Structure 1
Amino acid sequence: MDERAFITQNGTEGIEIIDLACHKIPLHRSQIQINFSDNFSNKSDTWIEKSVKLIWDEKCQENNRLYNKSKFRFDSIAICNDHQIVINLGLTTYMELIGTNCHPFGKELVLHGMKCFKNGRSCLADPLGVGCLLLTADEKFLFLKRAMWTGEDKGKLDRPGGHPEPDNVSLAIQSWTEEECRKPENLRRIRDEIFDSVIHEVRDEVNLPMETIKDPVLLGVIRSLERSGRPSAEFLVLCSLTSEEVEELYSKNCQAEADESIGIVFILEEKIRTQVLEQHVWNNLTDAACGAIELYSRCYSVSPNKQ
């Protein structure tokens, strides 16, 4: 797949959009396949592991709420002969994300990867993030203002999101054999974890009942150049509630991840689709949010609520 750089309007280095132009988007759950293998995990060495651990320990001293956990590593996307999108995944950790993609050390690893593996991304964590543009019944998109304690994008406006969790698929996933990695039922569980994690993030961050949101559709995959090409899969989720009803539920402050945000902002669907936003709004958006907006505007010429 080609990756095409796109300069966002939020003042950062921009994003790369992984080109799915040869396939009709957005994509439903049934149109996605997973190829999972340790061959897609990031490469490491003793000196890399020591450097990443030092960076991690330093960050943990600054923020004692950080914790390490395994993540799916995004390697690439391919298209099968039957026009199914295939996502190639391995494993990495949140610690490796902080010590590679989110740190200047990552630029050194790009050079090392090119020299030793002929692939500049081979030593980067590249964990697959997920995020969604949540559209209410009254044609407004919801954005969260991130709390100041969070590890990334403090105080920025972001779409609901997070990471699919390998442990939710199997606690033994890190020791799977290649045969277990290829089992169709295991690959379906990984795919479902990716899609379900989007729904769970909306529930846990916004406090929406799961019956009020439709199954996510995939708009595409982007990379944040600000974080050495950190990847995220961006989705659209339609909600049956109005913005007023959503705000009322959010303000109850009883959701599992209530402390990860300090408020919500609604923006009209038409403004997002046409990308007609005030500059101060662009400046406050995360790279991932900007990427999701770009993907949405490419996918829809009218609101999906009106299709």
Structure 2
Amino acid sequence: MAHIVKFQPCPRPPPPDVSESSAMDPDISVELQIPSPAELTQEHVRAELAPAYNRQPLLGQEARIAETWEERRRQQPWLFDGAKFRFHSAELRAGRLLLRLGLTSYRDYLGTNWSVQAPALRRQGLADWGDSQAYLAEPLGVGAVLCTADDRFVFLRRSDRVAEASGLLDIPGGHPEPKAAAGDVPEESIRLEHLSAELVVRELFASVLGEIRDEVNIPLDSLSRPMLLGIVRNNRSAGRASAEFYVRCRLTSEEVRQRYLIGGPEAQESTNIVFISRQDVLALEEGASRWQELCPSAKGGVKLYSLVHTELG
């Protein structure tokens, strides 16, 4: 099992400097850019798990989270809670990446990052801890900039059954799941001491392929190994972080379309599939109408891809 780091909560390190071009859209901010994604393999990534990286408790907050969850469940009864990895910070040094992670849940995400009180929680976190995210759930997401064999990039139109960004274009994605790294421990009982840091990293890379399989219905053996492009924050959900990957598919866009129409386990999350050429993807930011059709996670993936695409070959 993992060695759990124990120390007092500390302020979040400032994000590394990125190019000025990364500050173009208020919906997203680049937390971390990998300069050479092809050289940063899964073996160069390490997870540090610590109680200090969990969300900090705040008087009265738990009751508000419970009320928010019950209200959302009344509106969208198909929603379900689940354990998630909480992103605290990341550090890239000498070609190796350190991810500092705690635990959180989807329920807590809707009750903090996605609540109307999120701006106040961020101000309070900054005042109390020197960290605007201290009182937020901050579940780490994953997204895939997915390119077909005929150089078309895959986007999905989000359905109205999803909890956020319905109707917008997204890239395949979701969350790495602690239950995949916790063995036989029931999900509601998972604690940091149940997790292996090595298995957490493995799940991070495996989860993005699993999301492509489940949302687009593409077999895993048709997908390349994921290359981590970096980490982007979604400013529409109070700075929630997502790890964005580049993945090649051995199928053509028409073959992918046919697989998508058959439907996968998570087909209900989208209503349509859209293909955009590589040239047009690189120009998306310049076209205001199509760019504004993208949800923040898709904007983040496209932004990181545009910053490093020459390194990918």
Query: What is the TM-score when the length of structure 2 is the normalising length?
Result: 0.88
Residue 290 of structure 2, aligned match among 281, 290, 294:
281
Residue 164 of structure 1, aligned match among 171, 176, 186:
176
Whether the aligned pair in 2 keeps the contact of 1:3 and 1:16 (CA below 8 Å) is: no
CA RMSD of aligned residues (A): 1.9
Secondary structure of 1:272's match? helix
Report whether the alignment pairs 1:60 with 2:73.
yes
Whether the aligned pair in 2 keeps the contact of 1:7 and 1:14 (CA below 8 Å) is: no
2:258 equivalent in structure 1 = 248
2:7 equivalent in structure 1 = none
Whether the aligned pair in 2 keeps the contact of 1:137 and 1:240 (CA below 8 Å) is: yes
Identity in percent: 32
Q: Which string of whole-angstrom CA distances, capped at 9 and with x for unpartnered residues, describes residues 149-180 of structure 1?
A: 11011111000000000011115473343xx6
1:50 equivalent in structure 2 = 63
Report whether the alignment pairs 1:35 with 2:60.
no
Residue 291 of structure 1, aligned match among 297, 300, 305:
300
Which amino acid in the other structure matches residue 7 of structure 1? Answer: M
1:2 equivalent in structure 2 = 16
Bigger mean CA deviation after superposition, 261-270 or 31-40: 31-40
Shift of 1:216: 0.5
Secondary structure of 1:301's match? helix
Q: Kindly tell me: are residues 7 and 101 of structure 1, through their superposed partners in 2, closer, same or farther at Cα, counting changes over 3 Å?
A: farther
For 2:253 and 2:33, locate their aligned partners in 1 and report how far apart those are by CA, in whole Å: 31
2:98 equivalent in structure 1 = 86
Report whether the alignment pairs 1:175 with 2:184.
no
Whether the aligned pair in 2 keeps the contact of 1:271 and 1:277 (CA below 8 Å) is: no
Secondary structure of 1:233's match? strand
Secondary structure of 1:142's match? strand
Q: Which runs of 5+ in 1 are unaligned?
A: none
Report whether the alignment pairs 1:200 with 2:210.
yes
Whether the aligned pair in 2 keeps the contact of 1:136 and 1:239 (CA below 8 Å) is: yes
1:225 equivalent in structure 2 = 235
Report whether the alignment pairs 1:267 with 2:280.
no
Q: Which string of whole-angstrom CA distances, capped at 9 and with x for unpartnered residues, describes residues 163-212 of structure 1?
A: 000011115473343xx66xxxx111000101100000000000001100
For 1:3 and 1:287, locate their aligned partners in 2 and report how far apart those are by CA, in whole Å: 20
Whether the aligned pair in 2 keeps the contact of 1:219 and 1:299 (CA below 8 Å) is: yes
Shift of 1:116: 2.2
For 2:27 and 2:168, locate their aligned partners in 1 and report how far apart those are by CA, in whole Å: 16
For 2:95 and 2:168, locate their aligned partners in 1 and report how far apart those are by CA, in whole Å: 37
Query: What is the TM-score when the length of structure 1 is the normalising length?
Result: 0.89
For 2:92 and 2:166, locate their aligned partners in 1 and report how far apart those are by CA, in whole Å: 36
Aligned residue pairs total: 291
Which amino acid in the other structure matches residue 294 of structure 1? Answer: K
Shift of 1:283: 1.7
Bigger mean CA deviation after superposition, 56-65 or 37-46: 37-46
Whether the aligned pair in 1 keeps the contact of 2:141 and 2:173 (CA below 8 Å) is: yes
Report whether the alignment pairs 1:151 with 2:163.
yes
Residue 31 of structure 2, aligned match among 7, 15, 18:
18
